[in-house]
Structure 1
Amino acid sequence: MKKKIILLTILAIVLLGGGAGGTYYYAMASRYISTEDARIQGDLRAIYAPGAGKLLEWNYKEGDSFKKGDVLGIVETTPARGNTPAITMDITAPEDGTIIQTNLIKDQMVSPSSALAMSTNLSQLYITANLQETEINDARIGNNVTIKVDAFPGVVLTGHVERLGLGTNSSFSLMPSSSSGGNFTKVIQRIPVRIAIDDNQGKRLVPGLNVVIKIEK
């Protein structure tokens, strides 16, 4: 009799726990759209030399920031005519940004067709989240978003939906899948959603970081 009471008690606890968990999950699903398929991104900009020649000077390394119009380096170009003196040309920043990749060395030869460095504006980062097609109808521009960055455990950032994608990720593929073989397997499609970051709480965010987002319905 005692064992039966213990078993019934354990069963009741399990059922209550499962019911509470199901209720919580339903409440969350009815209020939020959640996904781990999301990353921080920035608009990348390639920096080019204004002409072919020797790199006399390069003033910036990875992590250095600059303002629009700053001189990033100097290139010495040699005109086609041999008796014409070489001229120097400034490499100027087209806009504000931070160098995120470069491997330049002084006196190397450069050309206007090859990128000298890649930059992005770290103050204008955003999040791209890929939502399932069955969820996209509940996403609206302006909806509030909570953001958790894997790199900063325990920190919750805020944002809002800025833009909804106009096509699925697969529709932008250069080689879309074909079902001409006769066998068809339905795959849930994902649509990119751009999320603006309202407050980074002083954290140094960089492109590529994984995040978990919850969009309020």
Structure 2
Amino acid sequence: MKKKAVLLTVLAVLLIGGGAGGYYYYRESSKYISTEDAKVQGDLRAIGSLSAGKLLEWRYQEGEAFAKGDVLGIVETSPSRGNSPATTTEIVASEQGTLIQSNAVQNQTVAPGATLAMSADLNRLYITANLQETEITEVQVGNRVTFTIDAFKDVTFTGRVEKIGLGTNSSFSLLPSSNTSGNYTKVIQRIPVKISIDDYQGKRLIPGLNATVKIEK
């Protein structure tokens, strides 16, 4: 009798736990669209010289911020004729930002259009979440979003859907997949969704950090 009572108690606990878990899953799936396929991103800008020559001066290091119109470097342009004096060309920031990568070396020879550095405005970062095509019809611009970032697990951030992609990720691939074997397996496509960040909450966010996103339906 005692064993039967213990067995019934265990079964009851399992049923209650399973029911609670099922209810939680149903509530979450009916109210939110969730994905771990998401990252912090920013609009990256390539910085280079408009003229060929020697990089006489490079004024900024990685991690340093600059304003629109600041002179980032100076290039000495070789004269096209032997008796003409050399001239200098300034590399000017087209937008404010922070230098996140630099390959510039003073006195190196630079080519026009070659990338010397990369920048991003770290005050205007956003989240890109890649949602399954079967979920995208339930997402609208303006939907509220909560998300966490792996680097700051104890912080919950908020934002809103700003933009829904007009093509799947695979449609922008340089090497699109093709079927030459005659066998076809359907693969669920993913569509990028841009999400704003309401408040950094004092955290130093940088492009590339992993995020987990919950979008309200």
Fold conserved between structures, TM > 0.5 = yes
Aligned to 2:138: 138
State the match for 2:120 in structure 1: 120
Q: Which amino acid aligns with 1:22?
A: G
Structure 1 segment 8-157 matched on structure 2, within 5 A: 8-157=8-157
For residue 61 of structure 1, what is the amino acid of its counterpart?
Answer: Q
Q: Which amino acid aligns with 1:41?
A: Q
Cα separation, partners in 2 of 1:51 and 1:176, compared to 1, 3 Å? closer
The superposition leaves residues 114-139 of structure 1 with CA deviations (integer Å, 9 ceiling, x where unpaired) of: 11111111111111101111111110
> Aligned in 2, Cα 1:180/1:13: closer, same or farther, shift over 3 Å?
same
TM-score when scaled to structure 2? Answer: 0.96
TM alignment of 1:150-169, pairs within 5 A:
150-169=150-169
Range with greater deviation from structure 2 (151-160 or 176-185): 176-185
Partner of 2:198: 198
How far has the Cα of 1:110 moved from its partner? 1.1
Percentage of matched positions with identical amino acids: 66
Q: Which blocks of at least 5 consecutive residues in structure 1 are unaligned?
A: none
Structure-2 change in CA distance of 1:109 and 1:178 (3 Å)? closer
Matched positions, count: 217
Q: How many angstroms apart in 2 are the aligned matches of 1:174 and 1:91? A: 31
Deviation string for 1:26-78 (max 9, x for gaps)? 00111000000000111111111131111111110100010011011111111
The letter of the residue matching 2:209 is L
Given the superposition, is the C-alpha separation of residues 175 and 53 from structure 1 closer, same or farther in structure 2, using an over 3 Å criterion?
A: closer
Q: How much has 1:146 moved relative to structure 2?
A: 0.3
Q: Deviations over 1:136-187 (max 9, x none)?
A: 1110100000010000111011100001111111222233333453322221
Amino acid corresponding to residue 190 of structure 2 in structure 1: R
Matched position secondary structure for 1:46: strand
Match of 2:196, SS? strand
Q: Secondary structure at the match of 2:4?
A: helix
CA distance in 1, matches of 2:134, 2:122: 33
Instruction: State the one-letter code of the partner of 1:7.
Output: L
Which amino acid in structure 1 is aligned with residue 123 of structure 2? S
Q: Could you list the runs of 5+ residues in structure 2 that have no partner in the other structure?
A: none
- In structure 2, do the counterparts of structure 1 residues 67 and 185 end up closer, same or farther at CA, with 3 Å as the change threshold? same
TM-score w.r.t. the length of structure 1 is 0.96
Q: Is 1:186 matched up with 2:186? A: yes
